[in-house]
Amino acid sequence: MEHQRPKIVDVARLAGVSTATVSRVLSNPQIVSPETRELVEDAIRQTGYRLNHAARNLRHRRTGGVVALVPNLSNPFFSQILAGMAAVLAPAGYNLLVADTRTAGGDTVLGYAEPSRTDGLIVLDGALPADVLGRRPVVLACEWIPGLVAPRVNIDNRAAATMAVEHLADLGHRRIGHVAGPPGNVLTQARLAGAEQALKARGLPPPLVLQGDFSLESGRRAGAEWLALPADERPDAMFLASDAMACGFIGEVQHRGLTVPRDVSVMGFDDIELVAHMTPALSTIRQPREAIGRHAAQCLLSMIGGEASAEDIVLPVELVVRASTAAWPSR
């Protein structure tokens, strides 16, 4: 049966050695004498042998895979983070699995937490219950889970929000509003706190806060709410907790005939690629998404490698000033 995949014994037989030796050539070549190694390598070539990972993993008691638990795979914010993780994991011989925590249902998430399916987890969803993740390598990226002790890779959300609001204040705005993320979310809270703190420090009134959920559509709704306010009560600058919401907000406002930044300055958060090309180009806070992914992956690998527990990593953000924010009064 030539359609049968050759196994290690086939190689061993052809090379006239034991399976042990073949295995050694595969995973630890330098302990085999050069002549034998040559012999085995020839046999491998001739048979077209390919290692069976399931067997190796079983013996090694590992899986060779790590999973990223993402709250919403279709959100472009995450795709670049995944790219960063993939860039680190592939060379290290690890598979990157992805799971959408909303789609999958709690059960499936629990499934991924099983040691026999993955060697570790990168959690990007702060809303997961802390106890579904057993006692195993976990790294929290971007979001975090309040009860859970695990290394975190993220940015200083509070300081970043402060930076954003200070930019608006520096432009002379005094009535500054905020469109927050979903209630209960850790990022929502940190960014709101940062915004409030900045206003307070400047002696400005607390922000008008509208509720969103990071999505485009919720930003659009916030735009509608803003428009519905009497003109003299509208904040003249808005800081939104995500770029997606900022896009929705600006879209709604401009489709109704007003202009950004003439009628309202808008500040986003994330710096997703597209917003640099909008009209107006969005001022925002840049998160180093690729780097977040890379560091999270690296951190997880070191934990899998046995390091007791890695350090938290806080990556720097950058204020990106573009055309959606302007000095007040701007008309």
Partner DNA sequence: CGGAGTTATGTAATCGATTTCAAGAGGGGT
Partner DNA sequence: ACCCCTCTTGAAATCGATTACATAACTCCG
- Give the DSSP letter string of 153-211: EEE-HHHHHHHHHHHHHHTT--SEEEEE-STT-HHHHHHHHHHHHHHHHTTPPPPEEEE
Candidates 26-34, 63-71, 163-171, 200-208 — which segment interacts with a copy of itself by CB under 8 A? 63-71
Give SS3 for 146.
Answer: coil
Over its C-alpha atoms, the chain yields an Rg (Å, rounded) of 26
Q: Of DNA, a copy of itself, none, which one does residue 18 interact with (CB within 5 to 8 Å by kind)?
A: DNA
**CB–CB of 101/129 below 8 Å?**
no
Residue 220 sits in the site that holds a copy of itself (CB under 8 A): yes
Shortest separation between residue 113's beta carbon and DNA, angstroms: 16
Q: Is 276 in the site for DNA (CB under 7 A)?
A: no
Phi, psi for 318 (deg, rounded to 5)? -140, 135
Binding partner of 74, given a copy of itself, DNA, none, CB within 5-8 angstroms per partner class: a copy of itself
Residue type, 274: L
If the CB atoms of residues 119 and 236 are measured against DNA, the closer one turns out to be: 119
Position 252, amino acid: E
Phi, psi of 315 (to 5 degrees): -95, 150
What does 95 interact with, of a copy of itself, DNA, none (CB < 5 to 8 A by kind)?
Answer: a copy of itself
Total residues binding a copy of itself (CB under 8 A): 61
Taken as a whole, the chain contains a residue count of 331
Using CB under 8 A, which of the segments 97-105, 148-156, 171-179, 261-269 binds a copy of itself? 97-105
User: Which one, of 160, 200, 172, 191, lies nearest residue 325 by Cα?
Assistant: 172
Question: Considering the rule CB under 8 A, would residue 51 count as an interface residue with a copy of itself?
Answer: yes
141 interacts with a copy of itself by CB under 8 A: no
Q: Diameter of the chain by CA atoms?
A: 89
State the minimum distance, in angstroms, from the CB of residue 169 to a copy of itself: 26
Select 100 or 143, whichever has its Cβ closest to a copy of itself: 100
Told to check if 45 binds DNA by CB under 7 A, we report no
- Which of 155/278 has CB closer to a copy of itself? 278
**Following DSSP, what letter does each residue of 18-80 receive, concatenated?**
-HHHHHHHHH-GGGS-HHHHHHHHHHHHHHT----HHHHHHHHT--SEEEEEES-TT-HHHHH
Question: For the chain, percent helix, then strand, then coil, each to nearest 5?
Answer: 45, 15, 40
Residues making contact with a copy of itself (CB under 8 A) = 5, 50-55, 57-58, 61, 63, 65, 67, 72-76, 78-80, 82-83, 86-87, 90-91, 95-100, 103-104, 108, 114-117, 216, 219-220, 244, 247-248, 250-252, 254-255, 272-274, 276-279, 281, 290, 323
Residues that bind DNA (CB under 7 A): 5, 7-9, 16-24, 26-27, 31-33, 35-37, 49-52, 54-56, 58-61
